[in-house]
């Protein structure tokens, strides 16, 4: 009798496998229909994100919590009698069946496809499509009875995972030259590579970072080092030399992340990783940034033209010891007309037969077509152009004097 009961139990277990026996709580899959992305979590971390295709209409791909209940290679496409493994098979050659809507892995699944251009779109009759290379990779990693969440959400995959009870590892911390860093988006591990927020780390090490949205290109400069990378590309240009990196930069929640090894390769920093405490330590030389030029020294001064004290919205200023006066006010008071070209950043003044041309930040002015060297370039200060007082004399033949004691500019024709 005991032998009969034992055989009966074994038979039942073979016919109806108990899911919890193979369940792996360390694995977790989220499919977000809002973005058509699939996230695969393993051992408490978001390991990889894949693009997917989902249902043509919102109701076709079921939403909820499911499990992967079977894994099939080369599943035939019974509808059109296409054998498994056939390049024409719209299911590809890997099938991860889900226990959805009363079916047990026979109707709904994560699978490959025979139309790569459909990935990322709303195209299927209810299944979740992946690129064949991606589903091959996932098929080898994922275990049966792994939980799969399908939903529409604007939240991050980590936030969704936490909300559904998945236990994530603590965030990775970064210390640079003994100083603990704080980022709005934490570093993460993807395919065994540690990714760090590029701008925050590079700037902390003294580099300047710029972003070109049209080409999704990041450029970092640090004195003698110039680094250029493109999101999604493993090609890096370092001081004009092309280098291949093991993982491409990627954008996560609006921020660019790069493999931490790039910090070492580009800036010569030393990187250590404490896996137990999930702590990245970066030690590198911080090159001092060039000092920001000091603002011109403001001067409270009077301007007297032909014996009459003038009032201008821009006071004279001193730049490198040269007294600069507001050009429009002074030239207009002396009978000249002044025209400002915003696009070209140029000023043209005319008085009788005299034509004067100047350009912002240029030390060369033209007087009736002849170049004149300025003591200081024309400057645009608070929306007003200022010129060296000596130029007023050279351009319009006026006598100019500066009284340091009384801080007075006097101009006489």
* 314 secondary structure, DSSP code: S
Q: Which residue has the tokens 């929306």?
A: 383
The DSSP annotation for 34-73 comes to TTTEEEEEETTEEEEEEE-BEESSTTTS--EEEEEEEEEE
Integer-rounded Cα Rg, in Å, for the chain is: 35
The H or E element that residue 242 is part of is strand 241-244
* Contacting residues for 318 by C-beta, under 8 A, at least 6 apart: 296, 297, 299, 324
Give the C-alpha separation, 230 to 188, whole Å: 19
Q: How many whole angstroms separate alpha carbon 263 and alpha carbon 351? A: 59
Q: How many CB atoms lie within 10 A of CB 23?
A: 15
Which listed residue (7, 127, 131, 384) is catalytic? Answer: 127
* CA angle in degrees (0–180, nearest 5) for 134-139-144: 145
H-run or E-run covering 21:
none
CB atoms within 10 A of CB 308: 8
Task: Kindly name the residue from 7, 111, 136, 384 that is annotated as catalytic.
Answer: 111
156 close to 141: Cβ distance less than 8 angstroms: no
Question: β-pairing, 27-32 with 147-151?
Answer: parallel
What are the residues whose beta carbons fall under 8 Å from the beta carbon of 152, sequence distance 6 or more? 32, 33, 34, 58, 63
Q: Is 111 a catalytic residue?
A: yes
Distance CA 411, CA 326 (A): 13
**Residue found by looking up tokens 């949205």 in the block:** 213
Which of 178, 155, 143 is CA-nearest to residue 40?
Answer: 143
Q: List residues with catalytic annotation.
A: 111, 127
């Amino acid at each position: 009798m005991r032998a009969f009961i034992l055989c009966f139990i074994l038979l039942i277990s073979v016919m109806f496998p108990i899911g919890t026996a193979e369940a792996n709580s360390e694995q977790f899959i989220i499919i977000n229909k809002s973005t058509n992305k699939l996230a695969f979590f393993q051992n408490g971390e978001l390991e990889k994100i894949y693009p997917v295709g989902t249902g043509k209409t919102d109701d076709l791909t079921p939403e909820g919590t499911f499990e992967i209940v079977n894994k099939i290679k080369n599943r035939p496409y019974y509808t059109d009698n296409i054998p498994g493994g056939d390049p024409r098979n719209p299911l590809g050659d890997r099938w991860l069946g889900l226990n959805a809507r009363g079916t047990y892995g026979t109707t709904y699944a994560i699978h490959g496809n025979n139309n790569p251009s459909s990935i990322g779109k709303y195209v299927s009759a209810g299944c979740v499509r992946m690129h064949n290379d991606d589903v091959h990779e996932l098929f080898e990693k994922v275990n049966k009875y792994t939980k799969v969440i399908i939903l529409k959400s604007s939240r991050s995959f980590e936030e969704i995972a936490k909300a559904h009870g998945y236990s994530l590892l603590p965030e990775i911390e970064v210390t640079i030259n003994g100083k603990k860093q704080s980022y709005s988006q934490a570093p993460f591990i993807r395919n065994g590579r540690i990714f760090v927020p590029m701008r925050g780390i590079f700037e902390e090490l003294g580099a300047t970072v710029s972003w070109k949205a049209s080409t999704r290109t990041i450029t970092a400069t640090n004195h003698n080092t110039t680094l250029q990378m493109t999101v999604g590309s493993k090609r890096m240009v370092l001081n004009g030399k092309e280098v291949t990196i093991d993982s491409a930069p990627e954008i996560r929640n609006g921020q660019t992340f790069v493999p931490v090894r790039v910090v070492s390769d580009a800036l010569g920093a030393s990187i250590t990783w404490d896996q137990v405490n999930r702590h990245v330590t970066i030690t590198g030389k911080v090159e001092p940034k060039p000092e920001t030029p000091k603002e011109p020294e403001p001067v409270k001064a009077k301007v007297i033209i032909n014996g009459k004290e003038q009032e201008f919205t821009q006071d004279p200023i001193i730049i490198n010891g040269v007294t600069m006066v507001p050009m429009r006010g002074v030239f207009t008071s002396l009978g000249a007309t002044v025209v400002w070209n915003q696009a070209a950043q140029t000023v043209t003044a005319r008085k009788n037969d005299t034509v004067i041309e100047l350009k912002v930040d240029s030390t060369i002015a033209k007087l009736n077509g002849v170049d004149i060297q300025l003591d200081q370039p024309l400057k645009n200060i608070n929306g007003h152009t200022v010129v060296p007082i000596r130029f007023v004399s050279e351009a319009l033949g006026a006598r100019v004097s500066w009284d340091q004691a009384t801080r007075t500019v006097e101009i006489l024709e």
